[in-house]
Amino acid sequence: MKIGFIGLGIMGKPMAANLVKAGHDLVVSGHSADAAADLAAQGAVIADTPREIADQVDLVLTMLPNSPQVREVALGDGGIIEGARPGLIVVDMSSIAPLAAREIHGALAAREVAMLDAPVSGGEPKAIDGTLSVMVGGDSDIFAQVAPVLDAVAASVVHVGPIGAGNIAKLANQVVVALNIAAVSEALVLARKAGVDPSAVVNAISGGLAGSTVLDAKAPMMLAHNFKPGFRIQLHIKDLVNALDTSHDVGAPLPLTAAVLEMFTALMADGHDGEDHSALVQFYEGMARTSLASS
């Protein structure tokens, strides 16, 4: 199966590289010139527009920042829909609003193009080593066709339900991650302020019920004040806004999510929006007038 890949950012570039390593014939977008050149050196072919990519492949994967970018790439001028043939499959691996996924799916379906929404979780480290978790919404027969391709970038690929269900699952994931990061931040700043080494606290609690993937991955970053982005605050804000919009539509209040969104928004106002979401700890450090990085 010849595959197109559009969106070569922090997540997309290593995902595309893993597809090449798995032996797939890959055509990538030239929008990110340096990333495209690196992938071309590994064996990928570069195309100028989504339309040119769609015209020559059987499957298009997209990994883009948000709903407007996915809509533009799929349906805009020079978009996938202009180069699509009946039978083309589009798998959007971005994290977007479920309603947007359903709207784009409907427009593509009118041209006999199938679409799945398949957002991912795991951040840059798991994108690099090919162990992402993928949550998929859409037709189960189409899912069966593309699942072997998704296995090249993921350790877990789960079909959740109809179109939009993948992004509902991703919003649930982002709520859990955001609240977990906030809880770890609160706990470690409490330890520091009370005069106990927070790194010792991490070692003490990680083997018990408080242990989590978030604690393992993000506590070391908080302790070192290393906020090089694996997943930027600005992107987590986008996901939480989508979660709250969806919650309002269906009548499922998310009060804790709303509180963490306000914390992230305060950090964005202070210029931290490009940092990793583990930088949320700085909100708590500011309130407690302390720092985990202190000796």
Residue 247 to residues 160, 175, 191, 251, 258: CA-CA distances in angstroms?
18, 11, 34, 6, 11
Quote the distance between the C-alpha of residue 209 and its chain's center: 26
List the structure tokens of 144. 């069966």
Gap between the Cα atoms of 169 and 98, Å rounded: 10
Gap between the Cα atoms of 47 and 5, Å rounded: 10
Count the Cβ atoms, other than its own, within 10 Å of residue 1.
12
Active site residue 218: no
Q: Which of 2, 21, 126, 170 is catalytic?
A: 170
Gap between the Cα atoms of 66 and 79, Å rounded: 16
Gap between the Cα atoms of 223 and 285, Å rounded: 12
Which are the catalytic amino acids? Answer: 170
